[in-house]
Amino acid sequence: MATLTLERLRAEHAPAVLAFERAHRAHFARSVPDRGDAYFTPAGFAARHTSLLAEQEAGSCHFHVVLDENGTLLARVNLVDVADGSAELGYRVGADATGRGVATAAVAEVCRLAARSYGLTTLTAATTLDNPASSRVLTRNGFTRTGATTLSGRPGVRYVRRLATP
């Protein structure tokens, strides 16, 4: 696998993130709800990106981009709903980077950051039952199943991981 860099989301990432989301929209829609047409317009995306940066600045979320050695955006990995030492993990990997260990490596790095830099002690995550690759990423990174859930009307499973305190 190529060298990956995990960067905290910044304003200057906007063009690359929009291009990434547009290029992989159909791929993502197979496993997560589509963001809707308005998200993909320049104005809609700019408003959403600004909102994400404000949430991050407030400390309620931590958003990241995953770049290869050429600076190409391969994936996104986020921690949302940060409260009381816990956060929900979410990630999406572009179609051309799936199956190459990108998600596993990015989730491992964000778990380290969550404990070391963000002071979190617990991460939760969920995936649909028809997305076994996502389940493998979570279990490879020390997440354990905690029960069933429903995600956008589809059956799924919830996971948790306790983080070592720094």
Of 110, 108, 130, whose CA–CA distance to 120 is shortest?
110
Domains of the chain: 5-162 (3.40.630.30)
pTM of the model: 0.90
Q: At 1, is the pLDDT very low, low, confident or very high (cuts 50, 70, 90)?
A: low
Q: What is the pLDDT of residue 166?
A: 55
What pLDDT, in 10s, does the model give residues 18-56? 998 888 777 776 777 657 667 667 878 888 899 999 999
Long-range CB contact pairs, 104-109, < 8 A, 24+: 104/136, 104/137, 104/140, 104/141, 105/1, 105/4, 106/4, 106/6, 106/64, 106/66, 106/75, 106/77, 107/77, 107/137, 107/138, 107/141, 108/141, 109/4, 109/6, 109/77
Q: One-letter amino acid identity for 62?
A: H
Task: State the Cα–Cα distance between residues 116 and 99, nearest whole angstrom.
Answer: 28
